[in-house]
Structure 1
Amino acid sequence: MTEKLVFEFVTLFVVLEPFGMLAVFLAVTAGLEAGQRRKAAALAILYAFAVLVFFVVVGELLLIQMGIPLRAFQVAGGLLLLLYGIEMSLGAHAPGTGPSAASHTDSSSSINSLAVYPLAIPSIAGPGAMLTVVLLTDNREHAVIDQLITTAVLGSTLFLFLLILLAASPIMRVIGQGGANVLRRVMGVILSAIAANMILGAFQEWLGLPPL
């Protein structure tokens, strides 16, 4: 049992990539105050957990009934990330990060919108994470109690993820607004490359092409 828990924790931690996400989180929340940034982090983790639990409960049935392959998730998630990466690299304002964000975020849905997209989906609860929780809780191999334990492991992993994101505020104080703007554009290029790789990987598997 211990080995299974460690395996699931490590698998989820690697798939979720919290340290890689930290740079993205810093970039997209550059226009927020420290308290707003913490709120965005908590909401993003909460929404991501809800989405992934949904896939734990009905993900396998959904995939089977709708005939949705992993490639479709890869392409859809890749397109979302590509669009956001282009916005970041060109300096366009992300939801909740524009010039008026500081004055309107708490009284509007800006933080909530930012937490949903692009933080919770597709950055945290992306196609890979969705498929991973479906495989770890396969109804054909795991009993209900095992699935509940896996869900608890998921919750623990996301809690650790939240602690890492909360470290963004002191990092932000060090790099400042200028550093965050530079980071935002650099991460936009990197996100675009990751998105393109996701989309090309899906077509590579579909067409049986050699690795890039």
Structure 2
Amino acid sequence: MNDWISSFVFFFAVIDPVGTLPVFIAVTSRHAEWQKRKIAWLAVLVAAGILLFFLLVGQFLLEAIGVPLSAFQVAGGVVLFLFALTMIFGDSKPEQEMEIVREGHETAIFPLAVPSIASPGAMLAAVVLTDNHRFDMMHQLNTATAMLAVLGIVIALLLTANWIYRFIGDAGASIVSRVMGLILASVATTNVLLGIQQFFSI
């Protein structure tokens, strides 16, 4: 149960469901309610497909090109840490992705499915948390269910986006994003340390 909760928190931090709300509202501002629901479902389903792909075959792709998972874990941890720092000290996730929206790319695929929901950090998490050398099939199944649970929260938030965003506003979404950044920074540091330990123990 603790492993499931840990995976859930990790995916919640990298996906940041609350941070997706401002992006979704901006993307769908000119759409009817039924269109907003369709866009929300399409974005989450596409993101789920992408993350499941990385969860199932990400490690095999790395091994096929000769990259040990420990090296990927260290590199990914560094990238996640830098990403977390931008969430904490720079523009928050909503502010970053609102810039993408202002450039005119208003579709369910981009920027909603990628990179807002299926972010690079989420793709990395899907690979690292299902390492075949460290985790058995049951643990990997638990990781998949934790990821899908977070995506379930995403679709629930998107379907009630207008009401929630009226309640928390820009400031609330920014605060949540920065707190998730702090959690992500600690998780990224752990990944780097585990990757180094695993590399030198081979």
Same fold (TM over 0.5): yes
Question: Which amino acid letter does the alignment assign opposite residue 27 of structure 1?
Answer: G
Which residue is 1:96 aligned to? 97
Contact 1:41-1:165 at 8 Å conserved across structures: no
Larger radius of gyration: 1
Cα RMSD for the two superposed structures = 4.3
Instruction: Classify the secondary structure of the residue corresponding to 1:104.
Output: coil
Which residue is 1:25 aligned to? 17
Which residue is 1:3 aligned to? none
Task: Describe the superposition over 1:37-87 as per-residue Cα deviations: whole angstroms up to 9, x where unpaired.
Answer: 97477435523423533663x556434433322212322322332222122
Which residue is 1:145 aligned to? none
Structure 1, unmatched stretches of 5+, are: 1-6, 137-141, 143-149
Which residue is 2:33 aligned to? none
Contact 1:30-1:181 at 8 Å conserved across structures: no
Which residue is 1:165 aligned to? 154
Distance 1:93 1:59, change over 3 A: closer
Contact 1:96-1:105 at 8 Å conserved across structures: no
CA positional deviation for 1:125: 2.9
**C-alpha separation between the residues in 1 aligned to 2:5 and 2:49?**
13
**C-alpha separation between the residues in 2 aligned to 1:40 and 1:13?**
25
Distance 1:199 1:163, change over 3 A: same
Which residue is 1:184 aligned to? 177
Which residue is 2:123 aligned to? 125
**C-alpha separation between the residues in 1 aligned to 2:179 and 2:59?**
36
Question: Is the aligned partner of 1:200 residue 2:193?
Answer: yes
Which residue is 2:83 aligned to? 84
**C-alpha separation between the residues in 1 aligned to 2:6 and 2:178?**
25
**C-alpha separation between the residues in 2 aligned to 1:167 and 1:177?**
19
- The count of residues paired between Structure 1 and Structure 2 equals 182
Distance 1:165 1:206, change over 3 A: same
Structure 2, unmatched stretches of 5+, are: 29-35
**C-alpha separation between the residues in 2 aligned to 1:30 and 1:193?**
25
Structure 1 length as normaliser, TM-score? 0.59
Instruction: Classify the secondary structure of the residue corresponding to 2:79.
Output: helix
Contact 2:87-2:181 at 8 Å conserved across structures: yes
Instruction: Classify the secondary structure of the residue corresponding to 1:192.
Output: helix
**C-alpha separation between the residues in 2 aligned to 1:79 and 1:41?**
32
Which residue is 1:112 aligned to? 110
Question: Is the aligned partner of 1:47 residue 2:47?
Answer: yes
